[in-house]
Amino acid sequence: MSDDVAIVGIGIHPFGRHEGVSGMEQGAIAIRKACEDAKIKWSDLQFAFGGSVAAGSPDHMVSQMGLTGLQFINVVNGCATGGSALISTYNTIKSGAYDIGVAVGFDKHERGAFRVQTGKQGERDWYGGSGMALTTQFFGMKINRYMEEYGITQSSLAKVASKAFRNGSKNENAWRREALGEEEVLQSQMLSYPLTQYMFCSPGEGGVALVLARADQAHKYTDKPIFLKSAVVKSRRYGSFEVLAPSLALDYADGPTVDASKAAFEAAGIGPEDIDVAQLQDTESGAEIMHMAENGFCKHGEQEKMLADGDTEINGRLPVNTDGGCLANGEPVGASGLRQVYENVLQLRGQAGKRQVPNNPKVAYTHVYGAPGISGVTILSA
Amino acid sequence: MGQVSINENVMDLTPDGPRLKGMRCNNCGNHVFPMQSGCPKCTSDDVEEVQLGTQGTLWAWTIQGFPPKAPPYLGEANPEKFEAYGVGYIELPGQLKVESRLTISDPSLLKIGMEMEIVPETIGMDEEGNELVTFAFAPSA
Ligand SMILES: [Zn+2]
């Protein structure tokens, strides 16, 4: 494993709904906190990558942060927008072009399910018009088929959601901080069979910033540098089953999560058995279950027993979504992947407070998945 | 006032029902819906428009339990009047799996592998007062 790049500062603006605070201001607040954490000033940053899907061009924030002339590049890459900003920052430092920079992600979405416009210009939007083109439908169909194929029960879906809200209740930056029992989760409105309202995350707001530096200079900024072992984004291959697809191939191929996970483990030179804590995309509770297997942490179908045994609880064998995940934090697309990394840095530093994973976790994993069939994975080590 | 296809580039409305327009690759035989200019399987641009099959088997399904946002939705988006509908992928033999509305919205009546066929479904009205017709799949008669 090479120690090329370290995370030396982290900052977050709480997730949730914030009337009167723009998405970009939430990103700017996150950067100020990350700079404070790294004991640097905005003017010390040599470059930035900023990600936002719905809250404006991130580089516009230089007018409030300070016109220092730094290289600031915007990234928009579907649900992997935040992760892509991080990968770009990582590669920039690894290449030797700069010594220190920041990855920032923020967003602010309208209420309710994501509105997807699929029509071509000048044509009637038949896809959304017919009542398809909803990301929620994809997740319902995928887990419904998966449950039949691998014997996963609806009770397991409820267990995942209930764990998310329990963990969220221990996270002062989470949106939903009220613990919810499995029965309440099951009794909430059926949105997209077999998934109920509390099994789904909601689009939301928030911002996260991470200051990255050359590993050999990291101790200038922090006593506890966290090393970024690998960061990978993969798009889909022919035959995979993806969100927002009017048709699918008859052939079947693994999705981008499987590809990104394999590539990230290979680059880091370790395997799933070495991971002490994982943040996995939980757009809805079925996604967390499927992603446990797609990321190599178990075989398909083993999740049923793992959940029954509490393996993915904070004190379990493989803690998953210790900060409450997307279910408790909501999904501001530009910030979501960076929130996972923020949480893992806290866990590896031993600063996660009431939700700290016991026994000094050393290696941590993040995974995002989303439209239009894209996945991003990072591996961090203390 | 009559019935018109929701979009003639993707679907013809014939007296026998809706007929979907897909892409067939002349290089590798792969199919995609709707029509597009290149093949995602082999990267060839030697493609042609073909009519997709009308019968297949259910591959995956869910029930849409809340009204989609309008726009883009053209159907009943008022929560008071909205009725749940099925959505699924139907495997058309030798071609592809197509995503479609399903006429069934009761989970106990849907089963992976069941035989289904294409039927017309009126979704709304156009500016001239015509019924806008889209496609759905129903259990085979
Ligand atoms: Zn081809």
Mean pLDDT score, A192-221: 96
Q: How much is the pLDDT for B141?
A: 84
Condensed to tens digits (0 to 9), the pLDDT of residues A12-51 reads 999 999 999 999 999 999 999 999 999 999 999 999 999 9
Helix (H) / strand (E) containing A107: strand A100-108
Residue bearing the bigger pLDDT, A242 or A221: A221
Interface probe for A, chosen from B37, B58, B62, B92 (most Cβ of A below 10 Å), is B62
Taking the Cβ of residue B66 and every Cβ of chain A, the question of whether any pair is shorter than 8 Å is answered with yes
Kindly report the nearest CA distance between residue A125 and chain B, in angstroms: 7
| Residues from chain A contacting residue B71 (CB–CB below 8 Å) | 117, 125, 128-129
Ligand 1 centroid – CA B49 distance (Å) = 13
Say yes or no for a CB contact (<8 Å) between B98 and A118: no
Residue B82 has pLDDT above 80, yes or no: yes
List the single best residue of B33, B99, B130 to mutate versus A (max A Cβ within 10 A): B99
Cα(B46) to centroid of ligand 1, in Å? 8
Residue % of chain A over a pLDDT of 90: 92
Residue type, B68: P
Our count of domains for chain B comes to 1
Residue with tokens 């939301």: A204
Any chain A CB within 8 A of the CB of B135? yes
Give the structural domain span for B56.
Answer: 3-139
- Sign of the CA dihedral A235, A237, A241, A245? positive
Give the CA dihedral A286, A291, A294, A300, nearest 10 degrees: -40
Asked if B10 is an interface residue toward chain A (Cβ–Cβ < 8 A), one would say yes
Instruction: Report the DSSP beta bridge partners of residue A234.
Output: A375
Q: What is the pLDDT of residues A291-344, one digit of tens each?
A: 999 999 999 999 999 999 999 999 999 999 999 999 999 999 999 999 999 999
The one-letter amino acid code at A27 reads G
| Per-residue pLDDT at A111 | 79
Which of A112-126, A247-261, A279-293, A351-365 shows the lowest per-residue confidence on average (mean pLDDT)? A112-126
Which has the minimum average pLDDT: A109-118, A273-282, B4-13?
Answer: A109-118
Q: pLDDT by residue (tens digit) across B115-137?
A: 999 999 999 999 999 999 999 99
Which of A261, A289, A288, A287 lies closest to A275 in space, CA to CA? A261
| Distance in Å, alpha carbon of A15 to nearest chain B alpha carbon | 24
pLDDT at B1: 72
| A372 in contact with B, Cβ within 8 Å | no
Residue B20 in contact with partner chain A when CB distance is under 8 A = no
Residue from A370, A7, A130 nearest B137 by CA:
A130
pLDDT in tens, B17-49: 999 999 999 999 999 999 999 999 999 999 999
Q: What is the pLDDT of residues A216-234, one digit of tens each?
A: 999 999 999 999 999 999 9
In this predicted structure, what is the pLDDT of residue A371? 84
Of A123, A144, A247, which is closest to B97 when you measure between CB atoms?
A247
Q: What is the mean pLDDT of chain B?
A: 96
User: What topology does CATH give the domain A5-112+201-381?
Assistant: Peroxisomal Thiolase; Chain A, domain 1 (3.40.47)
Of A107, A35, A100, A37, which is closest to residue A65 (Cα–Cα)? A35
pLDDT at A1 over 50: no
Render A3-67 in DSSP notation, one character per residue.
--EEEEEEEEEEEE--TT--HHHHHHHHHHHHHHHTT--GGG--EEEEE-SSS--GGGGHHHH--
Indicate the pLDDT class of residue A372, thresholds 50, 70 and 90. confident
